[in-house]
């Protein structure tokens, strides 16, 4: 009889240990843990009921209200309840281990996803920088040549006649404004474009 009481008292910390383990695993699996806590609360309640019954039987025994050993039906019933509680505790331990494994796998997966997202963010940053560089380059190379401050820099293949046509002026006006004596111009030479009259 005393060994059963000891067994019950040993099971009680195990159940409370399960409860604290459940509390530590809370996180993304709150729903599963709430269900397990409900089961544990039910088990505690059943265990408490069994303890109360056992104490009543012990009091009867100690007070010698019963001349003989407790009725065999009561002891057998308590033994069945204890066995059932032990099986339930074992099942809950297995469930807790599988939940812990699942939590560890989820944490590992989330860590890997976070690393992958950071790598993608880094690459997107590089692509963004490249895009802005290409945009600047395309603006630089595709900008139409417009005379600034009424000047023009001579390029390969240019002649005074082509430049005069391009800016709607005459060869004589170009020569006069640039103090040219002949029609000879040099690549890279800067010419002043006369204002249209």
For the stretch 142-189, pLDDT in tens is: 544 554 568 999 999 999 999 999 999 999 999 999 999 999 999 999
Can you give the residue range of the structural domain that contains 96?
Answer: 2-140
How many CA atoms lie less than 13 Å away from 52 in the CB half-sphere?
A: 6
Residues 111 and 133 in one domain: yes
60 and 91 share one domain: yes
How far is it, in rounded angstroms, from Cα 48 to Cα 55?
10
For helices 2-24 and 30-62, what crossing angle results, to 10°? 160
C-alpha–C-alpha distance, residues 108 and 101, integer Å:
11
Backbone angles phi, psi at 43, to 5 degrees: -65, -40
Q: For the segment 53-111, what is each residue's pLDDT rounded down to a tens digit?
A: 888 888 888 776 445 545 566 888 899 999 999 999 999 999 989 989 988 999 999 99
Domain at 185, CATH number: 3.10.350.10
Number of compact structural domains in the chain? 2
Q: Is residue 73 part of a domain?
A: yes
pLDDT at 34: 81
């Amino acid at each position: 009889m005393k060994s059963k009481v000891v067994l019950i008292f040993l099971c009680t910390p195990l159940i409370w240990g399960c409860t604290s383990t459940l509390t530590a695993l809370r996180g993304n699996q709150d729903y599963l843990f709430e269900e397990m806590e409900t089961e544990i609360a039910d088990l505690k309640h059943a265990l408490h009921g069994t303890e109360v019954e056992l104490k009543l039987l012990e009091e009867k025994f100690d007070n010698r209200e019963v001349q003989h050993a407790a009725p065999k039906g009561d002891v057998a019933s308590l033994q069945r309840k204890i066995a059932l509680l032990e099986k339930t505790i074992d099942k809950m331990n297995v469930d807790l281990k599988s939940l812990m494994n699942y939590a560890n796998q989820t944490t590992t997966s989330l860590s890997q996803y976070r690393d992958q997202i950071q790598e993608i963010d880094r690459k997107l940053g590089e692509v963004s920088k490249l895009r802005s560089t290409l945009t600047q380059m395309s603006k630089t190379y595709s900008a139409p040549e417009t005379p600034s401050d009424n000047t023009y820099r001579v390029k390969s293949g240019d002649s005074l006649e082509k430049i005069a046509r391009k800016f709607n002026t005459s060869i004589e006006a170009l020569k006069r404004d640039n103090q040219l004596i002949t029609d000879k111009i040099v690549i890279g030479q800067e010419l002043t474009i006369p204002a249209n009259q």
